[in-house]
């Protein structure tokens, strides 16, 4: 791909990682509490990260505002808030807002650490561990039977 073609589609290298993260997250993370439960949403995303580990490891090297981790953290918050309010019709209380922010931050940092440490746990194990850390009020608000 030529430089000119690249810049017709992306503004910089961070934009590529953000675009790719969004493509995956729309299919999996956004569906948490809609069509997928906590475990399923995370499992599918972790499997994608694992399958494309070199791409995502490179994208996680940076930790500034435009980094893939920071972008993913912000988008995860938006997805969860949208699901609570627009999909579930619940009131976004201060408690839920705090829990969403807290969990999204811990989740994104844990995933980056997992990848940087060589993915010493399987995606299935990580998905179970992440689900076990979701605050109860948030978990119950987005639980699907």
* 55-85 per-position pLDDT tens digit: 888 888 777 767 788 989 999 999 999 999 9
For residue 36, what are the β-bridge partners?
32
Average pLDDT over every residue of 73-100? 97
Q: Fold for 12-141, please state it.
A: Tetracycline Repressor; domain 2 (1.10.357)
pLDDT of residue 75: 93
Taking only the tens place, the pLDDT of each residue in 103-145 is 999 999 999 999 999 999 999 999 999 999 999 999 999 998 6
Q: Is the pLDDT of residue 7 over 80?
A: no
The C-alpha angle with vertex 37 and arms to 63 and 15, in degrees rounded to 5, equals 30
Q: Is the pLDDT of residue 14 over 70?
A: no
Q: What is the DSSP string of 20-83?
A: HHHHHHHHTGGGBTTTB-HHHHHHHHHHHHHHTHHHHHHHTS--STTSHHHHHHHHHHHHHHHI
**Pairwise pLDDT comparison (18 vs 121), residue with the higher score:** 121
Q: How far apart, in whole angstroms, are the C-alpha atoms of residue 89 and residue 27?
A: 21
pTM of the model: 0.86
Q: How confident is the model at residue 18 (pLDDT cuts 50, 70, 90)?
A: confident
pLDDT of residue 137: 95
Distance of CA 39 to the CA centre of its chain: 13
């Amino acid at each position: 791909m030529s430089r000119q073609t690249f810049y017709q589609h992306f503004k910089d290298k961070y934009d590529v990682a953000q675009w790719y993260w969004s493509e995956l997250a729309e299919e999996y993370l956004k569906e948490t509490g809609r069509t997928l439960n906590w475990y399923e949403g995370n499992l599918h995303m972790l499997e994608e990260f694992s399958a494309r580990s070199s791409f995502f490891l490179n994208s996680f090297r940076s930790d500034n505002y435009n980094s893939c981790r920071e972008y993913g953290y912000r988008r995860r918050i938006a997805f969860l808030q949208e699901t609570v309010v627009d999909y579930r019709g619940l009131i976004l209380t201060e408690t839920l807002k705090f829990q969403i922010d807290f969990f999204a931050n811990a989740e994104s940092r844990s995933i980056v650490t997992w990848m940087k440490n060589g993915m010493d746990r399987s995606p299935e194990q990580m998905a179970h561990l992440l689900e076990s850390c979701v605050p109860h009020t948030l978990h119950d608000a987005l639980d699907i039977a």
